[in-house]
Structure 1
Amino acid sequence: MTTLLPPDARIFVAGHRGLAGSAIARQLTDQGHEVITRGRAELDLRDADATLRFLRDTRPDAVVLAAATVGGILANDRYPVPFLEDNLRIQLSVLGGAHAADVDRLLFLGSSCIYPKHAPQPITEDALLTGPLEPTNEPYALAKIAGISQVRSYRRQFGRRYVVALPTNLYGPGDTFDPENSHVLPALIRRFHEAARDGRDEVVLWGTGTPRREFLHSDDLGRACVTLLRDYDGDSPVNVGVGEDLTIAELAATVAEAVGFTGRVGWDPSKPDGTPRKLLDVSRLAALGFAPTTPLPRGVRETYEWWLAEGAAAERPRRYATAPVDAARHQ
């Protein structure tokens, strides 16, 4: 089978310090590729001119756009402007810069949150734009949808081999455990860890515990993205998930066991649940020969052990600007 990514390809991973980007960079390095990276202080990806100069100077064979301003329900609700505008600027800079620098291969990471709130389950890729979005993350979702349209437009108008991956909920080493702005799984790890440490007999969590989610280990995402870079060249986005889900209550029980919390778990139904269910149809990815290999209980346990070992180094709280120029974290 002819690969779309030669073994000696040099690849720029935008967002290499984030959960997704770091996993993709690790997998590419393990496969023998030269991975090009730049930190926030070296390159502001919202700056189109600086991004284009960088891409023309380094001349990568491929680009992975994993950089984004991201966060959980609370952050999405509190800081809609940077979730919309920062992500639009990053996408315009990197995608437009890649084309102008004649980079013919690019992988854009979208998100499963772009699907309609009440999409039929499991969600197939053609459910995109068939219904209203979840209101709590609409600005972020709209930015990502614009990125998908941008990828398709470069394919249609210029014949670029740009493709889109839509990951489900991710977790793993490199995640953010900030108590206000993290996603659900690292937030649960921290909550149960602190409760066990302090000897509390109850943890009260947001919502009802009934929404269903799937969770993909970041290393499995990295492997899936390498597969897509090498073997996929289509107009449609590709779902990246595990094809199985569980309730948030079941997830909480899994995390509590991994952490060693033995008290009660309560629920606050006055807080939002978010989308009732979000399970991806992964048949398109499976047809490329890919399957995830990390069971959730093991992945949660290993993520918890990583966080304990990293300590303060794992604490990278995200800062959200009231205006995009103030630089929310995106790499």
Structure 2
Amino acid sequence: MKNLLVTGGAGFIGTNFVYYWLGKYSEDHIVVLDALTYAGNKDNLTEAEKNPKFEFVHGNILDQPLVEALLENHNIDTIVHFAAESHVDRSIHGPDEFINTNIVGTHTLLKAAKKIWLDAGKESHRFHHISTDEVYGTLGSNDPAFTESTPYAPNSPYAASKASSDHLVRAYHETYGLNTTISNCSNNYGPFQFPEKLIPLVIINILFNKSLPIYGDGRQIRDWLYVDDHNRGVDLILEKGVSGQTYNIGGTNEWANIDIVHLICDLLLEQFSNDKSLAERFSASPAAQATDPKILITHVKDRLGHDRRYAINAQKIKNDLGFLPDESFETGIRKTLTWFLNHQPWWNNLLSDSYKKWIATNYSEPI
């Protein structure tokens, strides 16, 4: 039986991890620590709060006394550290929060873990740090995919902050002997993803006949990983991963952004054709008139420092731990699309005031 502290557990990936873990390991206890910033949503965990093995704590990873108290009072033996500022555009316009949360926050957790675990002689423990493929920089179209030995070359304040936190985790293992593992994952998608991200943004904008802004030519390539495949990878690392090691978790599933947008347009058009009630719910959508939503695509100026391609070589976690994704991109994107169509009240509550104002002006019915 494990006692887990999950930081950032009210965010997108953390929420899915909580439900994954509670569903698979019914005897384990989970404490979620989340500051509930703009991307953290306590309502994500409504069903989890019905489980007596679950507890939510509203607090910040920068609060070391709080973290130490949680580790001690709940006899925590495993930290799964999701908490992070993660949106690249936001990091370009306001990097300070990324430095504070991703670097200083991670160091605060490490200091607390060292004090409560190592300094007290607790040998059975694990600090697992969730990172990103963006720490490796960018790839050319014919370059080999990132491996765990690829030199770090972050190109955005977000990526730099995650690279820094990775180095801190490694240092606490090498210097103090803290039992740590790191996973660098590719782009996740699935239920509960915040609406500013590419896939949910495209879905919602199509539903309300709003333009689909594509950076540059849209040929930026990413490796995409369904969120519960990511969680299975983390599970395997916690079960069988070697302390001090890093594991890349990828979907072996490279797509250009523009091709993803085209796929979502096609699948939504198909959904509207098969379910006539969608045309009533979202009458402003081009799909409600059987019109291809691709007419909404607009190309905008590329963002600063936009990496051209990410690709994960996940051979290490496959060979060493037996990881393989369960979902293809088509099965995963269909599940994601269905979830967003069935959970309009959830994402409506998260839409920005400016978006809601646009809806009120251009759409005849409230959402």
Fold agreement, TM-score > 0.5: yes
CA shift for structure 1 position 263? 3.7
Give the Cα separation in 2 of the matches to 1:166 and 1:227.
14
Q: Is the 8 A contact 1:59 1:101 kept in 2?
A: no
1:128 and 2:144 are equivalent in the alignment: no
What is the aligned counterpart of 1:168 among 149, 168, 186?
Answer: 186
The structural deviation recorded for 1:60 is 0.8
- Partner of 2:316 in structure 1? 284
Aligned to 1:79: 94
Query: SS in structure 1 opposite 2:113?
Result: helix
Sort the Cα spacing of 1:271 and 1:171 in 2 relative to 1 into closer, same or farther, 3 A.
Answer: same
Aligned residue among 281, 284, 294 for 2:327: 294
Match of 2:341 in 1: 308
**Distance in 2, Cα, partners of 1:39 & 1:77:** 23
For the residue of structure 2 that corresponds to 1:37, the secondary structure is strand
* Structure-2 residue corresponding to 1:14: 7
CA drift of 1:318 comes to: 8.9
> Displacement of 1:108 after TM fit?
0.3
Q: Describe the SS at the equivalent of 1:28.
A: helix
Which residue of the partner structure matches residue 97 of structure 1?
112
Structure 1 distance, partners of 2:352, 2:231, is 22
Change (3 A) 1:318 1:53: farther
- Whole-Å separation in 2 of the counterparts to 1:244 and 1:301: 15
Residues 258, 297 of structure 1: 8 Å contact kept: no
Displacement, 1:317?
A: 5.9
Partner SS for 2:58: coil
What SS does structure 2 have at the residue aligned with 1:21?
helix
Number of positions where the alignment pairs a residue of Structure 1 with one of Structure 2: 297
Q: CA deviation at 1:242?
A: 0.9
The amino acid across from 2:91 in the alignment is N
Shift of 1:204: 4.7
Tell me the amino acid that sits aligned with residue 9 of structure 1. K
Of 93, 103, 111, the match for 2:132: 111
Greater RCO, 1 or 2 (C-alpha within 8 Å, sep 6+):
1
Partner of 2:241: 232
Q: 1:252 aligns with which of 261, 271, 288?
A: 261
The corresponding residue for 2:199 is: 185
The whole-number CA distance in structure 2 between the counterparts of 1:204 and 1:28 is: 36
Q: Structure 2 counterpart of 1:303, which letter?
A: T
Q: Deviations over 1:147-166 (max 9, x none)?
A: 21122122112222210011
In the other structure, the counterpart of 1:268 is 299
Please list the CA deviations of residues 154-210 of structure 1 after superposition, one character each: whole Å capped at 9, or x if unmatched: 211222221001111011111101xxxx22222222222222xx7xxx745222111
Partners of 1:17 and 1:141 in 2: how far apart? 22
For 1:27-38, list aligned pairs within 5 A.
27-32=20-25, 33-38=28-33
CA contact (8 A) 2:253 2:329 kept: no
RMSD between aligned residues:
2.3
- Higher-Rg member (1/2): 2
Question: Cα offset for 1:302?
Answer: 1.9
Identity %, equivalent residues: 18
Deviations 1:14-54, CA, capped at 9 Å, x for gaps: 11111111222222222222222234373221212222222
Kindly indicate whether the alpha-carbon contact (under 8 Å) linking 1:52 and 1:93 is maintained by their aligned counterparts in 2.
no
Structure 1 letter corresponding to 2:147? T
Gapped regions of structure 2 (runs ≥ 5): 36-56, 270-286, 354-367
Q: TM-score, normalised by structure 1?
A: 0.82
> Are the equivalent residues in 2 in contact too, given 1:11–1:60 (CA < 8 A)?
yes
Relative distance call for 1:49 and 1:318 in structure 2 (3 A) is farther
CA deviations over 1:205-252 (Å, ceiling 9, x no partner): 222111111111111111110000001114342111111201112111
C-alpha separation in 2, matches of 1:157 and 1:125: 20
Distance 1:78 1:308 in 2: 31
In 1: Cα distance, 2:180 partner to 2:19 partner: 21
Q: What amino acid is aligned across from residue 160 of structure 1 in structure 2?
A: L
In the alignment, which residue of structure 1 is the partner of 2:84?
68
Does the 8 A contact of 1:173 with 1:303 survive in 2? Answer: yes
The amino acid of 1:16's aligned partner reads G
The residue type paired with residue 234 of structure 2 is C
Residue of structure 1 aligned with 2:225, choices 191, 205, 216: 216
User: SS in structure 2 opposite 1:38?
Assistant: strand
CA contact (8 A) 1:13 1:66 kept: yes
Q: Which runs of 5+ in 1 are unaligned?
A: 1-7, 320-331
Is residue 26–residue 222 contact of structure 1 (8 Å, CA) maintained in 2? no
Say if 1:25 and 1:222, in contact at 8 Å, map to a contact too: no
TM-score (normalizing by structure 2): 0.75
Bigger mean CA deviation after superposition, 49-58 or 61-70: 49-58
